[in-house]
Structure formats: C-alpha cells, structure tokens
Amino acid sequence: MTHNTPLSPRPLQQLPEVHRRVLSTARLRSHGISTAELNERCRPGGPWQLLLPNVVLLHPGPPTDEERLHGALLYASRESAPGVPVQPSAQDPHRPVYTEAVITGLAALALYGFSSAPPLESLDRVDVLVPRQRRLRSTGYVRVLRTSALPTPCAVTGLPVAPVPRALADAVAELTDPGVVRRLLTEAVRGRHCEPAAVVRELTEAQLLTCPHVVDAVDLLLAEGRARAEEHLYRMVREYGLPDPVWNVDLRLPGGPHLGGLDAYWPEQAVAVELDTRAPRQGPREDDDAVWSQYARKREHLERLGITVVHITPKKLRDSLEQQAAVVRTALMASGDRDPAAYVVVLPR
C-alpha cells in the first residue's frame, strides 16, 4: 500500500471524539451511511443536524466551540477525494488533516489565549483563510477569507491556526473600536506572542495603515516594543556583569553637528549600542530602504570617528540575551586595541 492508497474507514466509534461528533457527508457515506439515512437523521427533530453545507453535527444539541471550529475547517478544507479530507500517514491515520484551510482573526487570537479577544463562545463568526483560487463562499458562521499566500499554520489544540501577526491583521481589518485594536496589538507584544515589526508588516500588507485608529494603535505598539527591548537591554548589562554605560544619550562633535541618539554608550571604550526597532510603515518599499540607509550612514559616520556601534534587534535581546552580552563584552575588550576615538560631546536624550 502506498501513501496515496485510500484508507478503509474504521467504525465511527473508533474515531477521535470530536470526529465522532462532526463529520462531512462524504465521510459519513464512506462509513456506510446512505443519503436516505443521512436525510432521515438530519430531519427536524432528528438525532443529527446539518451544521454547515456538507458538514453534519452528530447530536441534536447546540455545537460546542470545538465542534464549530472543526466544522468550519471541514467545510473549508481541500479534499483529496469528493468530500473526504486528506489523511495523514502517522500517529492516527484515520484522523482528518485540514488542508488549504487555516483559522484566523478573532477566533485564532482566542485560541492563542488573548485575554483582549472575545471568548470563542461569544463569536458569531469564525474566519478561515483559503487560497485565492478556491471557489468557496462564506456561509453560516464561517467567513471565508482568500489570500494569495496561505501562511504556514501553527498547531493550536490540534487545529491549523494563522500565525499571530496574520491573525491580528485579519481581526483588525473588521474592527472599528480604537480601544479594542489598541488592546489586541499591545497584548501581542506584552504577551510575547510576536515582535512589533512582524505585526506592522502584516498591517502594511493588508493596507490597514491608512486607518487613523490603526495608525494610533501601531504607534503605541512600537512604543511598547521599544520599552520592552530597553528592559531587556538593562537586564543584559545587569545580569551579565557589563560595566554601566550612560543611557539614552545624544552625541555631538564639539561645536559641530549632531551625530545621533544611542541607547547605551560606554565613553571610555567608545562603544555604543543602538536598538534596531525599525518597522515597515505605510508607504512604498523605497521608504523603508531610505530609513535603513539613514541607519547605515549614521553607523558609518560614528565608526569613522572610532566609535564601535553594536546594533541589536528586540528579537535578539529576547531570544539570545547571553549571546548579545558576549558581543558587547567583546567590543568593550577590543577597545584597547584600537586607535583613540575622536572626542565627542555626550548629552542626555
């Protein structure tokens, strides 16, 4: 038997619990349920009910949150044969795998545990991403969102869920309450779900940075991200025994031009740390390139003056604090092997 050989269906009672309660009509037929029997069981007052087109709930009561999510994925997923979800080849070979269907929006954020997202039971709609070429309509409680590039899903409670930045963008696209948008974006950073830059990239891609309430929330998000990065920077100096720098300073040449702001500076060693908190914003790609060119020119100018500049991203501070401390320590130790730096004026920023 090859991996493409159809699997024989096993009895319904042997399926995983949720898949004994929500099944496609084609899957039921593969288990020997005839169309006539299916129609009889789904009649008003019958033991089953049609949850969505071609998706059956195998009990008469209201669906649970889990059943609604699996039903939405059953409805939206690509099937390998008429009505039969693609089957995996390991662990449980009879468990459906939902292909070309990913939960996104507020339902995804609720699955990630966002306290600022409505609980699943209060959502009257589940958003599902599918490839743009799919011919599939929104129906019932399922809203179909088409995308040219389906994101690689994360497995949350066994379900394919869009990464947090994409789920946020899809949720924000439908929200008009500035407070809700602000709380969702802020929680994404405070809860360490993702970096601000990743969120801004998705919002830019979705063309949402033309909305004033979204722009305001993004400004707060970036400020939140910078504050957290600064906390990590302070912690790095404290926990890894680095000498105390002067914090948040501006450098100037005596009687000359402004050289730029720095997050930490060691005057004796002429070593600086700059947090790279750039994030793509509204506008063409050339705008972001211009911002990076400005960063590069500033760094080159300082290094021509004999000042070593260490650029650190918030992600590196979060994920590899010890490694970043080693980079800074190496730069400090190497200062004795360099020519003396130009004299600069250090001012509070």
User: Tell me: the pLDDT tens digits for 123-159?
Assistant: 999 999 999 999 899 999 999 999 999 999 999 998 9
Residues present in the chain in total: 349
Residue 181 has pLDDT above 70, yes or no: yes
**pLDDT > 70 in the chain, percent:** 85
Residue 278 has pLDDT above 90, yes or no: no
Residue 235 pLDDT: 96
Gap between the Cα atoms of 221 and 164, Å rounded: 14
Gap between the Cα atoms of 13 and 51, Å rounded: 20
**CA-based R_g, the chain, Å:** 27
Whether the Cβ atoms of residue 25 and residue 56 lie closer than 8 Å to each other: yes
Residue 264 has pLDDT above 90, yes or no: yes
What domains sit in the chain, N to C, each tagged with a CATH number? 1-99 (no CATH), 103-230 (no CATH), 240-348 (3.40.960)
Residue 65 pLDDT: 95
Nearest Cα to Cα of residue 274 among 320, 324, 224: 324
Residue 327 pLDDT: 96
Query: Sign of dihedral through CA atoms 277, 281, 285, 287?
Result: negative
Residue 162 — φ and ψ, nearest 5°?
-60, 145
User: Tell me: the pLDDT tens digits for 296-349?
Assistant: 888 899 999 999 999 998 889 988 999 999 999 999 999 888 888 889 999 998
The residue with greater pLDDT, 15 or 201, is 201
User: Tell me: the pLDDT tens digits for 75-114?
Assistant: 999 764 334 444 444 444 444 578 899 999 999 999 999 9
- Label residue 31 by pLDDT band (50, 70, 90): confident
Q: What is the mean pLDDT of the chain?
A: 86
Most confident by average pLDDT, 25-34, 138-147, 201-210, 339-348 = 138-147
User: Tell me: the pLDDT tens digits for 235-263?
Assistant: 999 999 999 999 999 999 998 788 989 99
Gap between the Cα atoms of 26 and 28, Å rounded: 5
Residue 134 pLDDT: 92
Backbone conformation region of residue 127, classed left if phi is above 0, alpha if psi is from -120 to 50, else beta: beta
Gap between the Cα atoms of 174 and 121, Å rounded: 19
Angle, to 10 degrees, between the axis of helix 178-190 and the axis of helix 212-239? Answer: 20
Residue 287 has pLDDT above 80, yes or no: no
What pTM was computed for the model?
Answer: 0.77
Q: What is the distance, to the nearest Å, from the Cα of residue 85 to the centroid of all Cα atoms in its chain?
A: 26
Gap between the Cα atoms of 169 and 188, Å rounded: 12
